[in-house]
Structure 1
């Protein structure tokens, strides 16, 4: 398992960057932390001038937190002049004015110059001074530019690694165009206006039941304000399904609709339209969303579904042989018998073309897998249930 930010399974950037030159650093820990900061921003070339505690340094290795690829290739020099001899552009970092007539730039402007010089084939070096008193005047005098930081003038001294990190950050941001290593994953496509409207209608219906939208003269303003809350969210399909479930759970109490919660035909049609819309072209990874909406339908049957379900569980011809709103693959018929390979679909009046197409696709899919699909009109179930059950019995295997 990777650590809090470092993932060794990922390949890092291989960029031609400036050389970090530490002048007479006193503590191995500071060298290690500077190397760690370099690693954060794909700087790999480190030169050290006359380190006080010698080299290699075990304290530096411990503080580097895995930046061994930088410490293993450190170049050592006896003098600053030797360390900068091949540089075509040299910067000196300092928090103090050295009264020298040369350009003073911030980290961002310095990064732009570094990038230009590197692209032209030049060698860029950045001098960092001692922890206790920084760079001496003659060392600053070797540089083409001075880099200083926009910090609190009353407390301007930076830790060595902090200074390296600030410059490394600006250079890396410029070199990679500020690309972030990751972004928010898209787990569900944006919700359609149809889904938003279905959810809002459901919400308003439940709010009316508890007389929330009053007084009457403020109802329209309250509805606009409520709608704006949800349209500002840039909701996904999954968000809408979740919010549907939240509203229904609150409306029906802790135990759910086991003893109630009957949908009328219009409500069932809207929920089925949502299921049909989401099911079209859904990926396997999105099956949880489809099943979640199916659970909502299963827990909120229409009158016809309740009548049919009671008949299927009590009639000896069918008892124990059918299930409600149970997935078959990624499709969810109203009732299914895995024993008899029969699926029952109830047809509500006024169904949309989307629902009709979805049912036709579901029926074709089931039939190619050996299921027989029996369709029943809601009016027929409510008007003459016995006749529909006799018709269903005639579909059972072995019936004459």
Structure 2
């Protein structure tokens, strides 16, 4: 059967090339592999001189990997003289110097000479010797020229099929002018600046969601570096579609354990309730522990927190002025603006007395330190976020 690289939907190439003459090959497998190499490079004329294990040979057919047509047409001869009698130009391949006054050429030079002779109506053949010791002197003497390969002189012996393949390659490359069987698929059109900007805006929006662009003083430099990463690659329209999909898949993956390995909105709400009821307002005093808890809460936002955070980061009135789930002392308000000394607390319906008490203690602590606490019901966020932003702006005269 054909090898894995064979595309049976394409027609093969058959060229008027040289005849391959195998002199007393020992193993049927080597004959089959030589036929396969011939098929790779459009050669069909195979002559076999006195094969040791007889002919036909089932081992040759198994090793041919689909080059059965070459084996079926192979000609059998008793002597080398008979096999080359009708040829007008004969080459002998050898790794050893036979001390004969004949031109010695490399494979690519031989390919050019073969092409010239065939173009003039000649018939060309190439002798390949036995696996064990190659061609004998009297067999080389029959040839017009000698082909030898530029190999390691300390390890010059080639497998029979390898030698056929190297010669076939040089011939085929010359005959087809080095044409490759396939090329890179044509790329889609290059992405427009509008597409690039839309993708970049989306990317920045999602990076802001996870507070990647920090600290604030390095934000602009980071944005320039990110933009240059993509612009250097000259992405296509298809690239932009793919990158958009990647960013959105990551963003959506944060919404649930099945997609991103984090809590969904309802689970995140229960997490906050459990923390409040367990701690009863007494967060640990160690700053590292508080930061770790804040990080946990940021990575598992409730649905309302997600909605409000997206609004705060995309609305020009508030962009860059709020942080979410950031420690203020030993407390972690839902949102905080250090610029305006404002904290936002989202109120879930049906809060228990313990949670309400915890929230009241946090509010009192913040107000004692000059923070204004804005309480927003979760239902109002989900119902009309624009109204809540207007309400927030009204309490922040500096933002206007």
Give me the TM-score of the superposition, normalised by structure 2. 0.60
- Where do residues 55-94 of structure 1 align in structure 2 (5 Å cutoff)? 55-94=55-94
Q: Distance in 1 between matches of 2:214 and 2:221?
A: 10
Could you say which residue in structure 1 is the equivalent of 2:173? 173
Is 2:51 the partner of 1:30? no
Q: 1:106 to 1:194 in 2, by over 3 A?
A: farther
Aligned-residue RMSD, C-alpha: 3.0
CA separation of 1:197/1:27 partners in 2, compared to 1, >3 Å: closer, same or farther? same
- Report the CA distance between 1:180 and its aligned residue: 2.3
Alpha-carbon separation, structure 2, partners of 1:166 and 1:158: 10
Q: Work out the CA distance in 1 between the residues paired with 2:80 and 2:21.
A: 9
1:132 maps to what in 2? 132
List gaps (5 residues or longer) in structure 2.
Answer: 266-302, 315-385, 388-400
TM score, norm. by length of structure 1: 0.60
Equivalence for 2:255: 254
- Structure 2 residue matching 1:92: 3-state secondary structure: strand
Aligned positions of 1:311-330 closer than 5 A: none
- What secondary structure, in the 3-state scheme, does the structure 1 residue paired with 2:204 have? helix
5 Å-filtered alignment, 1:128-167, equals: 128-167=128-167
CA deviation profile, 1:329-364 (whole Å, cap 9, x unmatched): xxxxxxxxxxxxxxxxxxxxxxxxxxxxxxxxxxxx
Deviations 1:50-82 (A, max 9, x none): 222222222222221221111111112222222
Aligned-residue offset at 1:187: 6.9
- Residue equivalent to 1:107: 107
CA distance in 2 between counterparts of 1:115 and 1:93 reads: 17
Residue 196 of structure 1 corresponds to which residue in structure 2?
196
Residue 243 of structure 1 is matched in structure 2 by 243
Take 2:224 and 2:82, find their aligned partners in 1: how far apart are those partners? 72
Distance change in 2, residues 1:16/1:186 (3 Å): same
Query: 1:162-221 CA distances to partner (integer Å, 9 max, x unpaired)?
Result: 110111112112212222222333474432232123212332344355554456675555
Q: Are the counterparts in 1 of residues 26 and 131 from structure 2 also a CA contact under 8 Å?
A: yes
Q: Give the match for residue 367 of structure 1.
A: none
Q: 2:45 maps to what in 1?
A: 45
Report which of the two structures shows the higher radius of gyration computed on alpha carbons: 2
Which whole-Å deviations, capped at 9, do the CAs of 1:263-294 have from their partners, x for residues lacking one?
Answer: 88xx9xxxxxxxxxxxxxxxxxxxxxxxxxxx
User: Partner of 1:47: helix, strand, or coil?
Assistant: strand
Distance 1:44 1:93 in 2: 19
